[in-house]
Amino acid sequence: MAADWVATLGAARVRIPLLLASAVLLTAAYPTTDWSLLVWVALVPLLAAAVVRRPREALADGWLQGTVFFLLLLRWLDHTFRNYSAIPWPVTWLPILGLAAYCGLYFGLVAALVSWLRLRLGTGRALAAAPFLWVAGEWFRGWILSGFPWGLLGYSQYRQLPLIQIASLTGVYGVSFLIVAVNAALVAVVALGWRRAARGAVVALALVVGALGVGTVIAERLDFDSDSPRLQVAVIQPSIEQSLKWDPAYQRQTLGIFTALTRRAGAGKPAIILWPETAAPIFLRRDPNLVVDLQVLSAEVKAPLLVGSVDGDQRGLYNSAFLLTGQGIRAKYDKIHLVPFGEYVPLAGVIGFVRRWAEFISEFQAGEVPRVFSEADPPFGVVICYEGIFPDLFRKFVAGGATYMVNITNDAWFGTTSGPWQHLAVLPFRAVENRVAIARSANTGVSGFVARNGRITKTLGLFERGFLSGEILVRVGKTFYTAFGDVFAYLCVTASAAACAAARLRRTR
């Protein structure tokens, strides 16, 4: 029986279709399909192949599945290249393929290590190490080359509120760990039989059931929390096409849309009104008349305004968020984590010529401090666009005193694709990790609110012009994750290193 199973996976005509089908299933677990249950079995073919094939072969298998998965997941980037670059179609797919191959390499490395550990420690121990190896890979992908932690396994579960509550301890990585543990347990049952795999399968099942049980209680309790202070917040979604956003002839109309929506939102007496990233279509501080107009508008609606705009000094340009009141500009935050090939060009002295290829490539300077707007009452923090996918950066604002968080973004570059929805899906984890409510203002969508338990409570869909008003609960206290950060990920990195060291020592002996 075991020999038949090994022979079946060894045949390329069986193995490759299974890996490709698994990549498709894995993609379907994410927005906008959201078939989140698929991820609990989508890694079975990859891990099964890893425990019957040599490390180099497992590397190729994992790399193939990972590359196809990310190519499908990130297909929305084709919209950006086709509409806002000089790269002709189908050449637009080459940079997407390059990014997908880089991200997919981590799948291959995990598969190769599982295969390598199996040769030295046995199938059971290799599969037991798989969840630790996977989390270590996700964590490294979030840091190497400035980091790109998009498409982490845990994000597929953003709607499963009971399950994701463990993120307050482990971050999103804890959910990824559970998913891989279940996939590995299924493979162990097939590879080793029920008796030999029983212990591992029971542990995986107990972890998932325990997380669901405790998470259900926590999620419900937070839904009905009546003790925390409440705050009325309004978010503006102007729904302005990217091609018109910076057109000088359209500036007056753009500001007119913002002003009208802000006045309507102000009728609900919010404590603050949020505009999206680069909402002001000119350099805010270089236009005194615009600053005065915003002061007057803030005084009229009796609420501070948070306005995204470009700023500049002797160092260069910044992607910034300004807090304005009737007294003028009170505070400013400069975006810290910039988008490579979007807001700056890595190795600009060598490949700076790529700026000529696309209009979305800018040259911003990075901010230095995770600035909390303590001038507001209560204090809050802001992450701009892509910064929301970095758990450690987000938690620094909460650790620094933010009682709620704001995400301002401009996803107009991605049209009506799944990209903006995938972007929104990371925020429930940031909310749970820090038990902090999040208000999101997006230029063309998706704007909305995320409660402290990760529930997305209200949204304005793509290219809907309007505003949302919502009541959010102000944070009280800190979570384990806020206080200590990615301790769980560090433990997984340590455990992975220990398993590799043990395997190396076993071979030496």
Domain identity same for 438 and 504: no
- How much is the pLDDT for 385? 95
The number of distinct structural domains making up the chain is: 2
Give the mean model confidence (pLDDT) for residues 340-353: 69
The per-residue pLDDT of the chain, averaged, comes to: 92
Domain identity same for 268 and 242: yes
Domain identity same for 29 and 164: yes
Which of 212-226, 281-295, 404-418, 475-489 comes out lowest in average pLDDT?
212-226
Give the mean model confidence (pLDDT) for residues 223-232: 81
Q: Does 335 qualify as catalytic in the annotation?
A: yes
CATH number at residue 374: 3.60.110.10
Q: Could you tell me which of 455, 452, 449, 456 has the C-alpha nearest to residue 435? A: 452
| Catalytic choice (103, 138, 245, 277) | 277
**Omega of the bond leading into 398 within 30 degrees of 0 (cis):** no
Write the burial class of residue 357 (CB in 10 Å: 0-12 exposed, 13-18 middle, 19+ buried): middle
Domain identity same for 495 and 468: no
- How much is the pLDDT for 3? 47
Instruction: Decide if pLDDT at 283 tops 90.
Output: no
- How much is the pLDDT for 1? 47
- How much is the pLDDT for 101? 98
Residue 33 domain-assigned (yes or no): yes
Domain identity same for 200 and 307: no
Residue 306 domain-assigned (yes or no): yes
What is the residue range of 10's domain? 2-223+486-508
Helix (H) or strand (E) holding 298: helix 288-301
With bands split at pLDDT 50, 70 and 90, how would you rate the model's confidence at 211?
very high
Residue 503 domain-assigned (yes or no): yes
> In this predicted model, what pLDDT tens digit does every residue of 390-435 receive, in sequence order?
999 999 999 999 999 999 999 998 999 999 999 999 999 999 999 9
Domain identity same for 247 and 185: no
Amino acid at residue number 425: A
| Catalytic choice (103, 335, 387, 492) | 335
Residue 21 domain-assigned (yes or no): yes
| Model-wide pTM > 0.85 | yes
Please report, rounded to a whole number, the percentage of residues in the chain having pLDDT higher than 70. 94
Instruction: Decide if pLDDT at 140 tops 60.
Output: yes
> In this predicted model, what pLDDT tens digit does every residue of 12-70 receive, in sequence order?
888 999 999 999 999 999 999 999 999 999 999 999 999 999 999 999 999 999 999 99
Domain identity same for 243 and 384: yes
- How much is the pLDDT for 266? 96
Domain identity same for 179 and 299: no
With bands split at pLDDT 50, 70 and 90, how would you rate the model's confidence at 85?
confident
Q: Does 458 qualify as catalytic in the annotation?
A: no
Residue 249 domain-assigned (yes or no): yes
Domain identity same for 138 and 54: yes
Instruction: Determine the Cα–Cα distance for residues 430 and 405; give it in Å rounded to an integer.
Output: 9
C-beta of residue 361 within 8 angstroms of C-beta of residue 379: no
Q: Does 277 qualify as catalytic in the annotation?
A: yes
Q: Using the 8-state DSSP alphabet, how is residue 390 labeled?
A: -
Residue 181 CB: number of other CB atoms within 10 A? 23
> In this predicted model, what pLDDT tens digit does every residue of 348-398 receive, in sequence order?
555 656 666 665 677 889 999 999 999 999 999 999 999 999 999 999 999
Residue 480 domain-assigned (yes or no): no
Domain identity same for 243 and 171: no
Residue 156 domain-assigned (yes or no): yes
Residue 465 domain-assigned (yes or no): yes
Domain identity same for 493 and 413: no
Domain identity same for 266 and 136: no
Which of 13-22, 92-101, 141-150, 353-362 comes out lowest in average pLDDT?
353-362
